[in-house]
Structure 1
Amino acid sequence: MNEQRNVTSNERRQAANPPSETKTRILECSRKLFSERTFAQVSLKEIAEAAGVSAPLIIKHFQSKENLFKQTVDFSTSAAALFKGPFEELGRTSITETLSAPTTAHYSIIRTMTVTDGSDTSLSAIGEAVKRDILSVLEQRIQEEAPFPDPEPQLRAQAAMALLTGLSLMRRVGDTDFQEFPPDALADYYAELVQQILNGHAPAQ
């Protein structure tokens, strides 16, 4: 009886909100829960309770938990933090962000990878989001602002992100002594490497 009343209450709340608003609320709650625990640990029931909707409604909007997770993957916040400011300072900016961003941030690539179920669907969703939200942004800035034309912007963007992602991985799980390195020394060393990659070089003679 209580369960029936709860469902009715939820349905009334859903009816009072446009579908787009409901979907946005579901995505926001899902993103928060997926950033706190692994994919397997978060249930549709928990997401439904957090969003104030019914689990069947989530399935209606997103078809499955896997598809819902896919739509929560968004690295645009990460890109905005990594690549803000003048081009000639992007090496320093991106390294500083990589070394200081919260390890539990929902926009962290490494964090997102560690909470997935490891399925092809989840990993594909992460790859698509990285290309859409991060690589394309960096490629465009290289194309428009880099002082040298070679190599091609796509290769430079991939190389820079490989370095940043590797550093993030080492910071989180790859080196138990990572925190022993002086932050300024790390920033100075890696910032120069990233900036060299982004700047590129003149065409070979």
Structure 2
Amino acid sequence: MNETPISRIPASERREQILAAASIVFGERGYFGATTDQIAKAAGISQPYVVRMFGSKENLFTEVLSRASDKVLTTFVEAIERWRASDSPDQPLSRILGTAYVNLVEDRGILLSLMQAFSMGHDAVIGERARRDFLKIYRVLRDDAGFAPEEARTFLAEGMLLNTLLALRLPDQYGLDQTTTELLECTFQTKLQMVLDTVVDQAR
């Protein structure tokens, strides 16, 4: 029996389709809990095609990590450029970048897959890639944004808190527990409703 031709979709688009699906599956299940079969089903393609394109689950995960890191870096660089192009920026750059980072929650897999990668520092391949990409983000904050080391550290710490809240699925508990509600409101502030709407939509 002949398979439905996959070539109708350009390879670059098919690759992005797989990486987007893999980001969510890895983000939700972790590296060891995810399978290429689950990723293929999430992408709506066959499991053998995923293996043919990426070779192994490890290669696929490192590509997911690169995609996520590149998205964060691109988002930060573009936000910095827009802020500098403004004649009279009315907000500090740290807030502009913070808002840009929170907006990435719309692609839930990006932030959660980064979290999974950062937890694998012990792995010879994934750990090395995760360290490299994390330091790239730090250097953009320090060199491109002009943050002092202490300011960059604080910004990264707040970003890790955001990732942790998403990984714990605490937005699902908003309004059900006073402490959770307080922490979410303090962390996300004016972006909270967007975060709640996004998390609810992606959980369906």
Could you say which residue in structure 1 is the equivalent of 2:145? 142
Q: Give the deviation of 1:37 after TM superposition.
A: 2.7
Could you say which residue in structure 2 is the equivalent of 1:86? 83
Q: Give the deviation of 1:158 after TM superposition.
A: 4.9
Could you say which residue in structure 2 is the equivalent of 1:59? 51
Counterparts of residues 1-205 of structure 1 (less than 5 Å): 5=1, 8-9=2-3, 12-73=4-65, 74-79=68-73, 80=75, 84=79, 86=83, 89-95=92-98, 102=105, 105-108=108-111, 112-114=114-116, 118=120, 120=123, 121-132=125-136, 134-143=137-146, 155=149, 158-168=152-162, 171=165, 177=179, 179-180=181-182, 183=185
Write the letter of the residue equivalent to 1:141: D
Q: Give the deviation of 1:103 after TM superposition.
A: 9.9
How high is the TM-score relative to the length of structure 1?
0.56
Structure 1 unaligned residues grouped into runs of 5+: 188-205
Write the letter of the residue equivalent to 1:107: I
Q: In terms of Rg, which structure is larger?
A: 1
Looking at structure 1, the residues matched to 40 and 164 of structure 2 have their Cα atoms a distance apart, in angstroms, of 35
Query: Is the CA contact 2:19–2:63 (under 8 Å) kept in the aligned structure 1?
Result: yes
> Structure 1's 164 and 14: CA in aligned 2 closer, same or farther, altered over 3 A?
same
Q: Give the deviation of 1:182 after TM superposition.
A: 9.0
Q: Deviations over 1:146-195 (max 9, x none)?
A: 7xxxx6xxx4575244433454367566xx946435956998xxxxxxxx
Please state whether the residue corresponding to 1:13 is helix, strand or coil.
coil
Query: Is the CA contact 2:36–2:47 (under 8 Å) kept in the aligned structure 1?
Result: yes
Write the letter of the residue equivalent to 1:113: M
Query: Is the CA contact 2:25–2:34 (under 8 Å) kept in the aligned structure 1?
Result: yes
How high is the TM-score relative to the length of structure 2?
0.57
Looking at structure 2, the residues matched to 53 and 103 of structure 1 have their Cα atoms a distance apart, in angstroms, of 23
Q: Paired residues, what number?
A: 167
Please state whether the residue corresponding to 1:37 is helix, strand or coil.
helix
Q: 1 or 2, which has the higher helix percentage?
A: 2
Write the letter of the residue equivalent to 1:86: W
Structure 2 unaligned residues grouped into runs of 5+: 85-90, 169-176, 190-204
User: RMSD of the TM alignment (CA)?
Assistant: 4.2
Percent of pairs identical after alignment? 19
Query: Is the CA contact 2:36–2:57 (under 8 Å) kept in the aligned structure 1?
Result: yes
